[in-house]
Every structure is written in structure tokens, then in C-alpha cells.
Structure 1
């Protein structure tokens, strides 16, 4: 038996003994010694106890409750405030201001097979998004009104432009570019600070000459529209985190005013951001004969002792041979 149960048993025995002593009365006039069973006092004579009557006090009935007071004879009248009609000129509840969360994007063809892509996303103020078009991807951001206007080279005659935001939402627009087949395009795209650049050497030009088309001498689409030569565009916002960037060289192959060769190469500058690691990129080439060609590339960049040097990649694109039109 546990200690806890022993405490309960001892307490019950004690209460029983006290109860018996409280309700017993003896008719014997002399002193009476009451001992527990089994206890014998050899020094005193035994006293016979008889005529013990068990008594208990009769329960006293409770005092009768007073009768409840009688209600007054006069009837009680219940008073209720009369309804007051509401005024007709109470102010009406103002309508909550509306807030449009719809996305709207349009794509309008421009000269030199370029497309103006206009995005309106009022819910996406200063938000980063990715523009997708036939494999090309780059990162941009809306302004403080959720607006963005981009000029993008078409990579297909029926160009499809998709905008996707970080929350998985987005929108789509299409454009029919009739002049697409007049131009050849060469795309290099990458993520982060890769330092990649396209260099086009038109009609035998050397680095730094007229006809050397690159980031520092990009020319414009009007030059290509006139058939004089190519131009270069860069796409994406490099100041955004984990931005996707792209560079595109466009040449008017079908409308060129001169015959000759266009030499194409890609350079990757060794920087503190890419030295000693693999650099991943992708190339896309379009022409009227072969269509779209996509190639993934991985470059093992030199150690950081080579910061400022360049890796020259001559075979990513086929050189152009232009016939006079």
C-alpha cells in the first residue's frame, strides 16, 4: 500500500473514533474510563458499564420563510419611448475608392523589326519583372505608377511577349512584325555581373574603327533601317538583384547597301564578381533561313589574378557573309 493511501486510512479511523466518543453518554455517575479495544490497565479494577443509551439531538426544522409581499393593487403601466422617424437628410455612406489590379500590355511594331512593349500594372509599383520572348529573358522594373515602356528586338515574325512578376502573376502581348525576315539577330544573355559583350566588326573594321559595333559604339536602329549597318541593344536592369541581362546585335542582311563580311565575337571580361568561377550564359541566333538557334555555354573564368583580362570567344556565332542588294 502506498504512503498516500496510508494517510487516507489513518484519517478515516481517527474520525470514526471521535464520532463514537461524541455520541456516547453513560448513566454511571462515577468516573468512567474508556479505553480502546485490546488495552488493559492492570493497576485499576475493571468497571462494568451498562445501561448505555445512544442519544442524538433531534434536527431543528428551519424557520418558516416569510410570505412574499403582496403587489400593489394599482396596475403597473409599462412606458415605452415612442419611435422617432429618421430624418431624410442623413449623410450617405461614401463609396470606397476603387483600385484596379488589372495588367495591360501592348506590343507595337517599330522600324528595324523592333517592338515597343508597353506595360501598365497599377498594383505593381516599382516591382521587378521578367520579360520573356522566344527564349530571350531579361529583368526590368515598373516605375512609381506601375508603368514600363521597353523597345525590344523581335525574335520571330509573330512575336510573343510575356511579363512575369515574382508573385507568379503576369500578362501577355503579341505583335506581327512584317520586317522580321530582313534582319539577322545575335543574342547573348546571362545572369548577374558576367561582363559579357558582343563585338561586331563590319566590313573588315578593326577594334575602334568605324564599323566596330559594341556597347561603347552601339549605333541605332535607324542605321539598320537604312541598310547602312547593324546596331546593338542592351536589355535588363543591372542594378536589380539577380537580374537577367541580354545584349543583341542586329544586322539588316536582306537590305544591306554593301556586300561584305561581318565578323562576330563575344568577350567576357574577368572581374571581381566572376573570377575563379564558372560563368553560365546562353546564345540565340535568328536568320531567315535557319530560324532560331539556341546554345548554352559554360565558361571557366580565370583566377582573380587575371582581373581586367578578357576571354575572347570567336566561335559562338557564325560570321555573316552579306551580298549586295
Structure 2
């Protein structure tokens, strides 16, 4: 059973002081004692010893140092009396090699409100980048020359394209798309392996009929430019790590040759990569007049015993009511 809902992505320090104590011991000599000693020897008179005076030897002076040698009688002549001029052919310091990368991107309007976006970044060879445009985003990679050439549906009359690399560098380009208001566009975008797909059933068609437009029957922008029906484009490379992918269905509402209805559905296939978990996606719809309508969704995928099944979401986009022109 499918389920979807809208959502809004929404110490201290311790210091120790260590005191260093010290003490001083001072001695204060007292007065000198006068010592009296007596000796008794039989037959000898007693001798008194008094008024002893302490003496010490005078310090011995150090051995006299030898006299310095006399200076030579002939004065010393300096080898260089003045600064010598520097030679003109001394080697010069080589400048360090510089490294600069020029990023350039152009945007050229095409039929069916599509835009050719060309990116050149010679120093970003085989590098992953994300292309942003009015809320839509997907990841691609440059080739061995740092080049990328993409065909992208415009989501605004004045479309702004931004290519951003992982190092924070990138490029920007704009395009004025005069035919933008003639087309309705429906975008589903996601990250990773969600298994999501857009199915458009034009003029009462069923799955597998000629009017069933999806990734395996995408048609091209010439069909829309002639007013015959819609077409689908897929953007982003599945070969990249954690890619952002977008599918876009375009219908020529203002130039359609037939009146009728277009029913829009989104399917999510249950795979080993997404079973038993929630997957996130986003839808963008524009009718060329009232601006962009953006919706964030979360799908609770069935358990892995349902691998191969599909969740069919009928209410993400309003069906088109097409008047004959």
C-alpha cells in the first residue's frame, strides 16, 4: 500500500593553578666566644691561654696572563677596498608555474522551450558536477576534455543555469526562452535508486498505447514543437555515485492540435535498493503562466518480499485539460 505525505525539511574548562613555595634559611652568627683551656701536668705550673686571635692566609693572586703579541710593523692591506659591481649575467629566479582553470558555460534556446547548455572546464576532466535550474537539479560529469553538452527543458522564460563542482567552483549561464509559455512541464526528481518514473496517458490512451509517454516511449521535442503531443526527457547519470536524477514531461498546451485530457501518474518500482525504507523525492509543475508549484514527498516502500511491484501515485500532478488550438 502506498503512502505519501508532504513535509518541510525541517564544556566548561577546568583550570588548575599550582603554587610554588619556597623557604629561606638565614644564619645569624653570634658573638665570638673566648675559650679558656687548662692543662694540668704534674710538677708544671698551670698555664692560662687567653686572647686567641684567628688568622688566615692571604689569598694567592692568579698567575699573570701573557702579554699580547705585538702588531706587525707593516699595515694590513684590505683585499677589497670598495664594493665591486655585480655582473649583468647572474642567473635570475624562475617564476613558479601558475595553475588557472577557466570555467565557461553558454545556454542557447532551442525548439519546444528546450535549451542547449554547453560547459567547458579544461582542468576538470571526468569530474562530477550538479546542474541547477529554477529548483531542478541533476548530476552529470565532464568528458576527457572537461566538456559537457546537455539539452535541458527550461522552467522559466528567463532560465538561469548554474553548474557547480565539488570544489565549490562552477559557471553560470542564462537564456531567454520566448516559447516557454506554450508548454506545461512536470518534473519528478530524486537522489539515488528510487525507481521512480513518470507516465503520461494522452487523449484517453492506456498503458502500452501510442499515446502512452514514458521513459521507454519518450518521443522527442519535435513532436511537441509540431503540436502533436508531449515528450519525456531524463537527466542525470545513473553511473555516478549517489546521483541526482530528474524526469521531465513536456506537453504543448497552447499549440496542441487536438482537444482532450492528459492523465499523469508517477510510479515507484520496489527494488532491492529501496525496499523496506522511505524514499524522498520532489515534484515541480509549471504551466508557463502561474509559476512553479513545488511539492516534497516521502514514500514508504513495501518490504523486500514485494520486489518487482509498483507503487502508483495518481495525485501528484493535476491532469491536463487541453483545448484545441
Correspondences of 1:255-266 after superposition (within 5 Å): 255-266=255-266
Residue equivalent to 2:267:
267
Report which stretch shifted further, 116-125 or 243-252. 116-125
| Structure 1: distance between partners of 2:178 and 2:219 | 23
**Distance of 1:119 and 1:95 partners within structure 2:** 31
Specify the alignment match of 1:103 in structure 2.
103
d(CA) in 2 for partners of 1:180, 1:47: 139
C-alpha contact (below 8 Å) 1:100/1:122 kept by paired residues = no
Q: Distance in 1 between matches of 2:208 and 2:270?
A: 21
| Greater relative contact order (Cα < 8 A, sep 6+) | 2
Distance 2:257 2:217 in 1: 20
Residue matched to 1:193: 193
Distance 1:93 1:221 in 2: 59
2:87 — aligned with what?
86
What is the CA-CA distance between 1:297 and the residue it aligns to? 1.7
Aligned to 1:166: 166
* Structure 2 match to 1:23: none
**Greater Rg by CA:** 1
1:95 and 1:75 map into 2 onto residues whose CA distance is: 48
**1:252 maps to 2:255:** no
Counterpart in the other structure of 1:226: 226
- SS of 2:74's equivalent in the other structure is coil
- Using the TM superposition, give the Cα deviation of residue 284 of structure 1 relative to its aligned residue in structure 2, in angstroms: 1.1
Change in CA separation of 1:232 and 1:268 when aligned onto 2, cut-off 3 Å: same
Matching of residue 57 in structure 1 with residue 60 in structure 2: no
Unmatched segments (≥5 aa) in structure 1: 17-27, 31-45
- CA RMSD, aligned part only? 3.3
Residue 184 (structure 1) shift:
1.3
CA contact (8 A) 2:140 2:237 kept: yes
TM-score by length of 1: 0.78
- Report what 1:285 is aligned to: 285
For 1:261 and 1:210, how far apart are their aligned partners in 2? Answer: 15
- Name the counterpart of 1:152: 152
SS of 1:66's partner is coil
Structure 1 residue 158 displacement after superposition: 1.1
Q: Is the 8 A contact 2:156 2:288 kept in 1?
A: no
Change (3 A) 1:93 1:149: farther
What secondary structure does 2:305 align onto?
Answer: helix
1:85 deviation in Å?
Answer: 5.5
Distance across 2 between alignment mates of 1:57 and 1:65: 23
Unmatched 5+ stretches in structure 2:
1-22, 30-37, 40-45
Which residue does the alignment assign to 2:9? none
Q: Deviations for 1:10-63, whole angstroms, at most 9, x for unmatched residues?
A: xx9xxx9xxxxxxxxxxx9x9xxxxxxxxxxxxxxx996557453322212223
When normalised by structure 2's length, the TM-score is: 0.78
